[in-house]
Amino acid sequence: MEISFIILFLFLLIYEPIVGYFSYQRFRNKLALHSTSRVPYYIEVMAALWAPTLFIIILIFITPLTFMDIGFSSISLTTSILGKPVTYIVWTIFALYIGMYIYHAIAIKYSPSYRRKVALAKREQLKKSQSFADILPVTEKEKKAWKYVSFTAGFTEEVLYRGFIIYVLFYFMPNISIWLTLIFSALVFGLAHTYQGVGGVVRTGIIGLLFGMMYVTIGSILPLIVLHFLIDWAARAHDDSYEFDLDEEEECSSNEENALEDEMIDTVFQKMDKKLFKVFNSSLLSYSIAREVSMYYYFFTIKPPIFNNKLGSTYTIHKRNGYLGIMIALLFVILLESAGLFYLLHKWSPIASWIHLLLNVYGFTYLISDYKAITRNPILLTNKYLYINVGLRKSLTVPISAIQSIQSGNMNYEKDKKRKDIFKATVLDMDTPDYEIGLKHKIPTKSFTGTIQYVEKIYISIDEREAFFRDLTNAIDQETKVV
């Protein structure tokens, strides 16, 4: 068994870093001449990964080696191997990592602007001589084959570079440091990706280190196989149905320009809610899922405002009241409270301490996401509609034709603030509204919980008070003249 381990170990050290690199270079040369070279290369890659994996499986049946030795076991959480602080950090990173890929998959499905960004990034990658983006599938046949490549990589690489290598290192050197083991396995994993260049080796090496740390703290490679598969599968997010035809974009007609408002007028949250409602046929369920996913979308992305001056006049609601400073103070309090209470609760009940920590992480994430949603979705006034968005909390679309009047918000607010048919567009509940907008009839919207609420009056605080009052008054007058 020892000789078999050594042979397989040397194979992993030599084959992928060297043979795999030159194999990829041959593939690129062939691809320049024949566009059908991807599938044969996929088969070659899968064969190179399955051969050593099947060899290990054979060893399991003919030697004392077991599936549990290489990580095929139930999850068993432990903090003793790496220590509590490091273990908790690793688990948090992986939770964020999973959230990022969930966001990526949903954004690809529901966000045209995100699909466009992916398509642009793909084009830029393909222009670079050192890019390995040309390995990604293009035709339908290649995309089907890529699913098998993704599964192969997810399964075999976790078996080889996490389960097997870590086991072998401890088998031959029982007293070796766990950190040396993890670093060495990560190094071998990174070198297996030499075809991606120096940057690719470093990137995959870091990912390999994180995966190795996760493996020794949960005691199983099964979750890592699933996550590894999803990462590789997500790389094909440039599916033709998602491609943004940039050449046609340059030839946009005036009809497409007229459709711009319809395309961009909904926030990511609202678009997702509409799509999910068609799937679940449940307003409450679709709204809840859309809000949770949108929270991670805003948390992980950095973009300029979605509503812009090309669509109409925009106004902010968060600057004048110092909301940014208040939010930073709240985040600081959450961090201090999380660290202190986690330490105290963990002595009493580890489970309670983790529940408390996760709730605080959720609150921390929500505050940041809500603020980013507020800044990226300002109040928008067009010729036909007034779009009001208050972060991830609520939104309202008001036809200009439905607006009866606009007046100072101080006149009736005190007696109206407890009414259920008012819509308060302020970032802080303590804010006094600048304006009261009366409606000719009730307009439906969704409350924070997703239930339908009918609005008869709007109270709103605006940073650009004079400009908003003037523009909305003009819009109402224009609508009245048209009628």
Question: Which DSSP string corresponds to 346-397?
Answer: HHH-HHHHHHHHHHHHHHHHHHHHHHHHHHHS-EEE-SSEEEEEETTTEEEE
> What is the percent of the chain with per-residue pLDDT over 70, rounded to a whole number?
82
CA–CA gap between residue 221 and residue 120 (Å, rounded): 35
Confidence (pLDDT) at 439: 92
Residue 221 has pLDDT above 80, yes or no: yes
* Amino acid in the structure at residue 382: T
Tokens describing residue 221: 């490679």
Confidence (pLDDT) at 230: 80
The two beta strands, 452-460 and 422-425, are parallel
Confidence (pLDDT) at 277: 62
Confidence (pLDDT) at 144: 87
DSSP state of 434: S
How many CA atoms, within 13 angstroms, populate the side-chain half-sphere of residue 12?
29
Strand 422-425: give its sheet, edge to edge. Answer: 403-408, 435-446, 452-460, 422-425
Confidence (pLDDT) at 252: 39
Say which range, 93-107, 393-407, 411-425, has the weakest mean pLDDT: 93-107
Q: What is the pLDDT of residues 3-60, one digit of tens each?
A: 888 888 888 888 888 888 888 888 888 887 888 888 999 999 999 999 999 999 999 9
Strands (E), 283-354: 313-315
CA–CA gap between residue 120 and residue 143 (Å, rounded): 19
Q: What is the pLDDT of residues 137-147, one digit of tens each?
A: 888 888 889 88
Tokens describing residue 24: 């990829």
Q: What is the pLDDT of residues 331-356, one digit of tens each?
A: 888 888 888 888 888 888 888 888 88
Confidence (pLDDT) at 111: 65
Confidence (pLDDT) at 262: 43
Confidence (pLDDT) at 15: 81
Distance of CA 43 to the CA centre of its chain: 31
Strand 313-315: give its sheet, edge to edge. Answer: 313-315, 379-381, 385-390, 394-399
CA–CA gap between residue 393 and residue 337 (Å, rounded): 25
Confidence (pLDDT) at 251: 41
Residue 385 has pLDDT above 50, yes or no: yes
Confidence (pLDDT) at 161: 94
Tokens describing residue 453: 């609420």
pLDDT range class, residue 162, cuts 50, 70, 90 = very high
pLDDT, mean over the chain: 82
